Amino acid sequence: MFDEMQDSAGAVRPAYAELKDWLGHIPPDVLDYRRREAELLFRRIGITFAVYGDPEAQERLIPFDVIPRIIAAKEWDIVRRGLEQRVKAINAYIKDVYSRREILKAKIVPEDLVFQNPVFRPEMNGQKVPHDLYVHVAGIDIVRVDAETFYVLEDNARTPSGVSYMLENREIMLRLFPELFSRYRIAPVENYPDELLATLKSIAPTSAPGEPTIVLLTPGVHNSAYYEHSFLADKLGIELVEGRDLITKSDVVYMRTTEGLKRVDVIYRRIDDDFLDPLVFRPDSALGVPGLMSAYQAGNVTLANAVGTGIADDKAVYSYMPAIVKFYLDEEPILKNVPTWRCREAEHLAYVLDHIEELVVKEVHGSGGYGMLIGPKEDKATIAAFRAKLKSDPKNFIAQPTLSLSTCPTCVEEGIAPRHVDLRPFVLAGRDRIRIVPGGLTRVALKKGSLVVNSSQGGGTKDTWVLDE
C-alpha cells in the first residue's frame, strides 16, 4: 500500500514534511474544534448535495476532512500533461465518430460499441460544432498506486461535477489554517471561474456578438448538484436558468427576462442529453427546452458540453483509451489506464468469472458507485447473484483488479489515520487552449480499508494542494 505522506519505513516524503510537523504540534482539541467550525461553515453556506432515494436526507453535507492532500510540483506536471493529452484525444475521437469514422474503419474501436451504445446520438452525425470541440469541461478521475504510477480510473465527458467543492474546500482551509498556508507555497485554484468563463466565451458561435450571452442550464433545485450550479453561475456572473426560462423562436434561443426576451449564445448545460429537448430526446422531459436541438443544429447556440459526448466516457470505451490516444496523437499515453477486462469478449468474461472474488466489476453505464461489485469485500451470496447478472448481460460490464489506492492522513474517530483517496482534476478545452487549474477534488473513503470514495456512499473530500515549486 502506498501512503502519500510516508513510506513503509516511516520516513516522511519531502512534500509532506511541514504538514507532518504541523500535525505533531497542533493540539488534538484545536484540530477537533476547527473540524467542527468547518462543518458549521459548510452548513451555513448551504453546500449540500441530495442523495437520490433518501427522502430523509434531501440535503446532506459531504464530510470535509481538514488535513490537505499534497501533490509535489513534479508529480503534478506529469498529471497535467497527461490530462491535456487525454482531453485532446477525446475531442478528436468524438469528432471522428460523428464524421469520418476513421477509428472504426481501422477496427481500433468496435463499431457496435459506438452504434449500439444508448449514449450515441445519431442527431450528431455530420453535425458541425464550433471549433470542432465537443468536450469543453472534463473531469478525469485519477488514482495513484505508487510513487510513479497514476492511473486514469474514469473519464467524465458529459456533465462532471465537484469543482465547487474544490473551490470551497480551499476557501475554508484558508480561513481555518492561515498558519499552515504560510509554511507552503501552494498553487491557487481560485481562478477556475475565470478560466471557465474564458473557455465558454471562446466557443461561442461565430455569429454571436463580441460579448456573447452565456447561461448555465440547471435541472433545478432538486438536482443533487444544484448547489454547484448556483455557485458557478454566481462566480461566473451569468444567469442560472432552468428549461422553463428558455424559449426558442426560428432556431434562436432566448431567455425570459423582466425586460422581455434576450438572445442566448452559449449554454453551459448541467443537464443530461436525454432531458435537453423533449422534441428530440425524452418526450416526458419537463427540464429541457423544446426546439433547443434544432437551434443547436442550426449553429445559433453552443452547448457545452456538446450533445453525444457520452460515447467517450463510457466504461466500455474507456478500455480503448490508450489506443485512442495513439491513433489520433501518435503519442504514448502519459497517464495509464487501469488494466480492464471487457466482459463483452469471451476470454475476458471467462477470466472475470474465474477471478471475480479478486476483481471490481462495474456496469458500463453506472456511476456514483452504484451497481458495482467489489469482489474481495462481498460475501458468497452477493457474488453469486452478481455472477448471474454478469452472465446474462456480459456486454454491460467491465472488470478491473482491486487497486490498492494510495492513502493520505485523515481525521477519523480514532485520531489521524491513513485513508484511501482519488483525485478529480478539471480540464477546460477552449478554442485557444486547454486550461487546467492545478489541483482538483480529492475524495477520501472515510471508512477504514474502504476503497469507495463516492459521496453518495459515505466518502468525504479534502483540499488538494499542488506545490508551486
Partner 1 sequence: MLSRTADNLYWLARYVERAEYLARILDTTLRLTALPLAYVGSSNEWESAVATAGCAKPFFAAYSEANEETVTEFLAFSTDNPSSIRSCIETARINARSVRTALTIEMWDSINSAWLELRKWGNGPPSREEFARFLRWVMGTSLSFDGSAYRTMLRNDAYWFSRLGVYIERADNTARILDVKYHLLLPAQEQVGGPLDYFQWASILRSVSALTSYHWVYRQNVKPWLVADLLMLRDEMPRSLAHCYENLVQNLDRIAKAYGRQGPAQRHARTVRARLENSKIEEIFQTGLHEFIDDFVEDNNRLGSAVAQQYLL
Task: Please list every residue from 245 through 274 that binds partner 1, using CB under 8 A.
Answer: 245, 255-259
Q: Who contacts 449 (Cβ-Cβ below 8 Å, separation ≥6)?
A: none
- Span 45-104, contacts to partner 1 by CB under 8 A: 45-46
DSSP annotation of 8 reads T
Say if strands 137-144 and 150-156 run parallel, antiparallel, or are unpaired: antiparallel
In the complex, the smallest distance separating the C-beta of residue 246 from partner 1, rounded to whole angstroms, is 10
Site string for partner 1, 300-339 (x = CB under 8 A): ----------------------------------------
Q: Which is nearer to partner 1, 239 or 274 (CB)?
A: 239
The Cβ-side half-sphere exposure at 380, using a 13 Å CA radius, reads: 0
Q: Which of residues 399-418 bind partner 1 (CB under 8 A)?
A: none
CB nearer to partner 1: pick between 102 and 242: 242
Residue 244 binds to partner 1 (criterion: CB under 8 A): yes
Rounded Cα distance, 75 and 395, in Å: 36
What distance in Å separates the CA atoms of residue 164 and residue 220, rounded to the nearest whole number?
A: 17
What's the closest the beta carbon of residue 50 comes to partner 1, in angstroms?
12
Count of residues that bind partner 1 according to CB under 8 A: 23
* CA–CA distance, 320 with 290 (Å, rounded to integer): 35
Q: Measured from the CB of residue 205, what is the shortest distance to partner 1 in angstroms? A: 22
Q: How far apart are CA 99 and CA 93, in angstroms?
A: 10
Q: Which is nearer to partner 1, 3 or 239 (CB)?
A: 239
Residue 187 Cα distances to 322, 439, 458, angstroms = 30, 8, 29
| Helix axis angle, 192-202 to 226-236, nearest 10° | 80
- Give the nearest distance from C-beta 35 to partner 1 in angstroms: 19
Q: Does 38 bind partner 1 (CB under 8 A)?
A: no
CB-nearer residue toward partner 1: 128 or 222: 222
Residues 6+ apart with CB under 8 A from 396: 343, 363, 364, 365
Instruction: Please report how many Cα atoms fall inside a 13 Å half-sphere around the Cα of residue 169, on the Cβ side.
Output: 26
Measured from the CB atom, the residue of 112 and 190 that comes closer to partner 1 is: 190
Nearer to partner 1, 14 or 46 (CB): 46
Interaction between residue 37 and partner 1 (CB under 8 A): no
How far apart, in whole angstroms, are the C-alpha atoms of residue 227 and residue 47? 6
The phi and psi torsions of 460 (rounded to 5 degrees) equal -125, -175
- Site map for partner 1, 212-241, x if CB under 8 A? --------xx----xx--xx-xx----xxx
Q: Which is nearer to partner 1, 244 or 448 (CB)?
A: 244
Site of interaction with partner 1 (CB under 8 A) = 43-46, 220-221, 226-227, 230-231, 233-234, 239-242, 244-245, 255-259
